[in-house]
Amino acid sequence: MLAVTIPTNFPYHGELTGTQKVALELKSKSSLKRVDFLGTLLLLSATVFLITGIQQAGTQYAWKSSFVISLLTLSGVMWILVLVWSRFITLAAGNIEPIFPWRFVQSRIWVGMLLHVVP
């Protein structure tokens, strides 16, 4: 009976807990202004084009087919746009946080880790 009847924040009923405060802060308008929506869309489209091209090649379409080549080409263009957009957002010094921070490219350690993961 006690487990059902006692409120969830029993000693501090009505006050916000730490996780509730963080959730309210994340939902605020100022935090939504910091999200890089265009960078996210570019990264998502680049990844979808790449995965679709690789999955369809050799199963339903030949590697030399125009469908696979166009998907892989679009993916390459989108990856370049992701890097250019991230560089632009980093240099703009605004409130938007880039989806791929440019400091990763400037650090030899990060570049080594990224190149190690890719192959």
Tokens of 107: 């650090």
pLDDT the model gives residue 23: 67
Decide if 97 is inside a domain.
yes
CA distance 103 to 91: 11
Per-residue model confidence as pLDDT tens for the chain (119 residues): 656 666 666 656 666 666 666 666 666 667 778 888 999 999 999 999 999 999 999 888 999 999 999 999 999 999 999 999 999 998 887 788 888 888 877 888 888 887 887 65
Decide if 81 is inside a domain.
yes
Decide if 4 is inside a domain.
no
pLDDT the model gives residue 85: 93
Which phi and psi (to 5°) does residue 57 adopt? -70, 130
Decide if 7 is inside a domain.
no
Decide if 29 is inside a domain.
no
Identify whether the C-beta of residue 29 lies closer than 8 Å to the C-beta of residue 95: no
CA distance 49 to 115: 20
* Number of other residues whose CB lies within 10 A of the CB of residue 39: 20
pTM of the entire predicted model: 0.69
Quote the distance between the C-alpha of residue 37 and its chain's center. Answer: 9
Decide if 107 is inside a domain.
yes
Decide if 26 is inside a domain.
no
Decide if 1 is inside a domain.
no
- Domain boundaries, position 94: 36-119
Please tell me the total count of domains within the chain: 1
